[in-house]
Amino acid sequence: MNHTTGALRYRIGQFLRAVTARTWETETGLAARVLTPASLDLFRAMSVQDQRHGLDVYASLCRAGHTDPHLLAAALLHDVGKAAARLPAWQRALIVLLERFAPRLLARLSRWEPSEYGPGSVADLAPALPPGWRRPFIVHVCHPEIGARWAREAGCSPLTVALIRQHHDPAETGTDGEQFLVALQAADSTN
């Protein structure tokens, strides 16, 4: 099996897991041990598939021996910015396929200039993101910044906020924060 076939199989499995995603109250209880009440509200505002993914990333980090509460909170909330656009599974699948097979097209579809909508950062403008068919592509690109802003406003630590903001950025190992980012990215990519 070549790399493309393996990647496609993984993505098909990921799609099926997203469509059938469920969470259990006991798992939300685990999240409540790590999250502040306000950030737990953020977690609950996420789609079920994003909650499931966050719980899986959290569990993966725990199995690897990670106990830092800032890292575990970031695991649960790293995709919270995606709540700025409720994306059905088929749109998520399309974005993932475009990332893999047509990244330039995805970049073109997700291009958005916040200055078109007035002053402020992307996170300030989350409610003002353009409506319509391009919104899911834009939210996909902007979700780390939006999520980091929401996490900061919900009282998350600066480290948790930084991990959410950077979870798609290249990481180097060095400081604890960078090592945590590498661990978060590894768990995110396998769940």
Residue 152 has pLDDT above 90, yes or no: yes
Query: Is the predicted pLDDT of residue 184 greater than 60, yes or no?
Result: yes
According to the model, what pLDDT value does residue 14 have? 59
49-53: Cβ within 8 A, 24+ apart: 49/17, 49/18, 49/19, 49/21, 49/89, 49/92, 50/79, 50/80, 50/82, 50/83, 51/21, 51/23, 52/17, 52/18, 52/21, 52/22, 52/23, 53/18, 53/21, 53/79, 53/191
Which residues, 6+ apart, have CB-to-CB distance to 116 below 8 Å?
A: none
What residue type is 177 in one-letter code?
G
Domain assignment of residue 17, given as a range = 3-189
pLDDT tens per residue across span 84-111: 887 777 888 888 889 888 999 999 888 8
Whose tokens are 């200039």? That residue is 113
Contact status, residue 163 vs residue 184, Cβ threshold 8 Å: yes
pLDDT digits (tens, 9 = 90+) for 119-143: 444 445 566 666 678 888 888 888 9
Burial status of residue 23 (CB atoms within 10 A of its CB: 0-12, 13-18, 19 or more):
middle
Percent of the chain scored above 90 by pLDDT?
A: 46
* Number of structural domains in the chain: 1
